[in-house]
Chain A
Amino acid sequence: MSPSAVKTSHDQSTQDAVRAMSAGAGSAERLATPVLQVADLAVSFDNSSGGPRIQAVNGVNMTLFPQQTLAVVGESGCGKSVTAMSTMQLIARPPGRFDRGSILFEGRDIVSLSEEEMLSIRGGKIAMIFQEPMTSLNPVYSIGDQLMEAIFLHQKVGPDEAKRIAVQAMKDVGIKKPEERLAMYPHQFSGGMRQRVMIAMALACRPKVLLADEPTTALDVTIQAQILELLRELQRTRDMGIMLITHNLGVVAENADVVCVMYAGRVVEYANVFELFDEPLHPYTRGLFRSIPMLRDTRERLVTIKDVTHDPAEFRKIPGVIPWWPDMPAGVRPEGAPGRDEHVLVEVRPNRWVGCWRTPELEARSHRRPSLDYRRGDR
């Protein structure tokens, strides 16, 4: 079922949009309430060398639905980790600062919550796993201790019950002989096992959202496949949304439902995975795909992203809009709307958003925030 494109004003509350959507859709097959909504988020950091503030995230929008895997793709420094960490208020303030925007979790704005209130959300409702399993576990405590720490924080249970939950969590992630393993220390595990432990720790309290920040980048390919399959499995059984942050397009292709491509702190493209891979609309995305070397390729020189983004023709492929790009080739950059942010995320086709330059025409229109309740199985 494809969600109808409902045009709403960009300052209408999401609740209205949701109500409108469900009213319009009329179908109760699936819960269409997004579990996590990032709306116009902007985060900046102090510039230690004295210059202007560094804008890490500049007006990012994305929506995550239950049992959906949203892949956030981009090169290093595009702001994807910052987005995820802001979700849990893990950004140190100072030097960081929320400039504007909101993050709604199950309808509640969590950007403005106090530290105390966040404590119950972190780990309990939203969990995060990180890139380096080798160092992400505390080397001086046993993994049993660390698992149970997570459990005790969010569940009022006694030590025996907690142990049982921990053992179960380890079983769920596929660690054999979990009772024995509880007393072991992280350095006694291999990388893949440690990541499993991290996952077990993250999922022990049954969160609604799992933020996975490059979880397999540091692992070898076979383990990578196992971990991702595990994640898919767990998502299915637990009714959990996963925000998968990665720069690996292969992982995206295999695992994502919806893809959000970011660059320089902004979203440049947002679509479901199949449509994105079939036909990338933004020059940057095209450049990404074209630069992947193909097996049967006989060219001597690979295509670079710059080859694509420096080609003015690439920017004229979508009628009515010019895709936003900070380093435009000569003569293509349009007039922006004065006094407004130069970038706007436009739904150029149904359920396909592209980041474009905010021309006066685009400024006049209202734009729906990206929201795709899509899963791969829907195809």
Chain B
Amino acid sequence: MLSYLLRRLAFMVPTLLGITLMVFMLLALAPGGIGAGLAVQGGQMSDTSRVAQMQAYLEDRYGLNDPVIVQYVRWLGRLSPVKFGMRDLRDGNGERVPAPRAIDEPPLAKAFPVPVVTVPSVVIATGEGAIPQFKKMQREAEGTRRDYVGKVRLFKDAIADYARAAGSPLKERLNGKGGADPRDFSDVAFDHSNAAWPKLEKAAADMHTSHTAALVAQTQAMQAFRAHPYPTSGIPLIPDVVSLDTPDLGVAFSKNRPVWDLIAAALPVTLLINLIAFPISYLIAVPTGVLASVRRGGGFDMFSGFLYLSLYSIPTVLAGVFAIGFLANKQYLGWFPVSGLHASGSEAFTFMPFTDASGVWQRGYLFDTLWHVGLPVLCLVYGSFAVLSKQTRASMLDNFSADYVRTAKAKGVPRKDVVLRHVFRNSLLPLITMFVGIFPAMLAGSVVIERIFSVPGMGSLVIEAIDLRDRELILADTFLIACVNMLALLLADLLYAAADPRVSYD
């Protein structure tokens, strides 16, 4: 059994890799590409070149310039608990501090030779002064890097202008967006008489200047980093090569917050609703199915089948509208609140209800939450009865004609026990299979319901992420869903083994 478990867990890893790779590639191929949500609105900027620089800076910060496969490997590296390379530090607040990133060589180094950079030596402070010095260097490195990236972008734009001024054949080397990829121009001998040449020359000079500054700042910051102003993070396995550290899900660029924070806020909400909804749906559907199968063709069977199928046919949006329009509207019934999960000021509630000094019954936090959760749960649950009860009914009917039922009857087992202990127990197996199909549904959340009732759960999080092509959030969510899916399948197999003694894994 243990070896089986381990084998299953081990098989999860390649599956997860495959899933994330596929999603990553799909995102990269999608129109709009990764990070379309980063598109900068010009608005009040004084200069288009400023916009271009900002765009370049954002792309650099999120690593969107690199080829897709490199981005994927980097994402994997951040996610996996086994880390390669230099270890991050952790500052006093527990935030991860990565090493300052390396500066790329300026493009077209042949046509525009890069001046030699001498990095002035700097004394790395220790003790009290280490952290302030590091912070200062970090800020300097970040600023100069930003500047350099912007200048590289301007240089590329200048090449594009040059190409346009030169006409064909150079003009053909521009890419679809009218921009220039320096690698396409590496063999060009630049013509100084070209109208756009002075600008290009100046752009190259600017680029080299900022490159020097950036390289100096980065080198110094790296020296300070190596002196470990903060303690290192994680557990080293092979020092400086392999280490163990907590997985890092990244920062969602549409919301500018760490993905983990977003998921940690949304997941409990979704879980709350689903963990209440799913037992309710089972507790109503399964007994109905059993009863319907016992009195097959009878009034209850027909009525419940009709009722559940009608409920199943009502689209969720319509149900939500009805729920809000009638059940939550004080002009009609007004039994439930309209939206959200807590009443205003619920932080001040006590947990359990009580009657206060003036004799008024106070709801208390527990009941307030349950009251708010009522309508979303109702909308989540009403359509699920049909499938579950039909499945139970069918499974029960199958088992009614089994031989051991005949034996049980012959033993003198009363009818009720025959149905509940013998037939039902054997009919559970398909239900267990269905039971674990619900786990992925839980994580995905019910998007429509969360939108209708303004519940800040996983569903709305993912839909926003997809809309804005927020790569980190989508990937993290896909990864989580895939993980839980596979764990749920594993759970299903284990439950099966528990429920059916004929099944064993050795």
Contact = CB atoms under 8 A, between A and B. Distances in A.
Q: Do A and B bind each other?
A: yes
Interface of A: 88, 90, 115, 118-124, 127-128, 130, 132, 135-142, 149-150, 153-154, 185, 187, 198, 201-202
A154 B422 CA distance: 18
30 contacts: A90-B409, A90-B410, A118-B412, A122-B410, A122-B411, A123-B411, A124-B412, A127-B410, A127-B411, A128-B410, A130-B407, A130-B410, A135-B402, A135-B403, A138-B408, A138-B422, A138-B425, A139-B404, A139-B500, A139-B502, A140-B499, A140-B500, A141-B425, A142-B501, A150-B412, A153-B413, A187-B502, A198-B407, A201-B411, A202-B410
B403 A136 contact: yes
A143 B413 CA distance: 15
Contact of B406 (A90, A120, A139, A154): A90
A362 to B, nearest CB: 38
Contacts of B411: 122-123, 127, 149-150, 153, 201-202
Contacts of A136: 403-404, 406-407
A126 to B, nearest CB: 9
A82 to B, nearest CB: 13
Contacts of B426: 138-140
Contacts of A123: 410-413
A263 B274 CA distance: 62
A122 B404 contact: no
Given A136-B406, A138-B425, 7 more contacts: A90-B406, A90-B410, A115-B415, A136-B404, A139-B404, A150-B411, A187-B502
Contact of B403 (A118, A119, A132, A140): A132
B416 to A, nearest CB: 11
Contacts of B412: 118-124, 150, 153-154
B137 to A, nearest CB: 69
Contact of A140 (B409, B415, B425): B425
A187 B410 contact: no
The B contact surface, by secondary structure, is: helix
B92 interface: no
Interface in B376-408: 402-404, 406-408
B299 interface: no
A149 B413 contact: yes
The CB with the most chain A CB atoms within 10 A, among B403, B407, B422, B501, is that of B407
B414 interface: yes
Given A185-B501, A185-B502, A187-B502, A137 B407 contact: yes
Nearest to B415: A115
Interface string B491-503: 0000000011110
Nearest to A131: B403
The CB with the most chain A CB atoms within 10 A, among B402, B403, B408, B411, is that of B411
Contact of B501 (A149, A150, A187): A187
A211 to B, nearest CB: 8
Contacts of A118: 412
Interface in B403-452: 403-404, 406-415, 422, 425-426
A142 B407 CA distance: 15
A244 B500 CA distance: 34
Given A127-B410, A187-B501, A137 B404 contact: yes
A28 to B, nearest CB: 34
Contacts of A88: 410
Nearest to A139: B502
A204 B95 CA distance: 71
Contacts of A201: 407, 411
Contacts of B499: 140
B421 to A, nearest CB: 8
Given A123-B411, A123-B412, A138-B408, A130 B502 contact: no
Nearest to A135: B403
Contacts of B407: 130, 136-138, 198, 201
Nearest to B408: A138
A198 B415 CA distance: 20
A132 B404 CA distance: 10
A150 B417 CA distance: 12
A142 B412 CA distance: 18
Contact of B404 (A120, A135, A185): A135
A140 B399 CA distance: 13
A14 B191 CA distance: 128
A136 B407 CA distance: 6
Contacts of B406: 90, 130, 136
Contacts of B403: 130, 132, 135-136
B405 to A, nearest CB: 8
A277 B413 CA distance: 40
A187 B500 CA distance: 11
Contacts of A122: 409-412
A182 B301 CA distance: 39
A115 B416 CA distance: 12
Nearest to B402: A135
Interface in B448-506: 499-502
Ranked nearest first, the 3 interchain pairs of A and B with the lowest CB-CB distance are A123-B412, A122-B412, A123-B411
Contacts of A121: 412
Contacts of A138: 404, 407-408, 422, 425-426
Nearest to A154: B412
A68 B404 CA distance: 27
A150 B421 CA distance: 13
Contacts of A90: 406, 409-410
Contacts of A132: 403
A88 B406 CA distance: 11
A120 B410 CA distance: 11
Contacts of B502: 139, 185, 187
Nearest to B425: A140
Interface string B336-357: 0000000000000000000000
A154 B411 CA distance: 9
B501 A139 contact: yes
Contacts of B415: 115
Interface string B102-143: 000000000000000000000000000000000000000000
A163 B406 CA distance: 24
Contacts of A130: 403, 406-407, 410
A127 B404 CA distance: 14
Nearest to A185: B501
